[in-house]
Amino acid sequence: MKGQLTMRRFFAKIRERWDNWTGDREMETLIRRQLSESGYHGRTAKLKAVRLVAVKRPGWLQVFRFEASVRRAVNNQEDSFPPAPVYEELYGLVRLDARYQTVVKLFVTPDERKQQFAQWAEGLHCLRGSHGLRQ
């Protein structure tokens, strides 16, 4: 019985790592840079559910969604004690265009992300279902 629980935990951990794997080092670096420029600790952010949600043939234009658990960067030099860390859940989109510039946008709510996705996904082939942003 104990061996079965250990194996279940092991496979659950592997599945979680697979689900949260970005798969593209350059895109992960761009996301982390955008988080840092937006006032968060981008290097230590936990990226989750990075998924391709729209593509335009022949594949040069792609839209990815992601979620991030991030800690807000605080520059408080007056106090001798650092404040307690503030963690936030952010929602994001990446518009990856191999011919032009890649754009990373961050949102506080999933609804804001859906609105931006509706603009970016016009004329693209979109993923349906639980991982997509269109219902």
pLDDT given for residue 34 in this prediction? 94
pTM, to two decimals: 0.77
Q: How far apart are CA 71 and CA 39, in angstroms?
A: 9
Q: What is the mean pLDDT of residues 66-70?
A: 94
pLDDT given for residue 135 in this prediction? 46
* Segment 75-124, tens digit of pLDDT: 655 555 666 777 899 999 999 987 888 899 999 999 999 999 999 999 89
pLDDT given for residue 12 in this prediction? 72
Q: Say how many CA atoms lie within 13 Å of 10 toward its Cβ.
A: 6
pLDDT given for residue 131 in this prediction? 60
* Segment 19-62, tens digit of pLDDT: 666 667 888 999 999 999 999 998 899 999 888 999 998 878 99
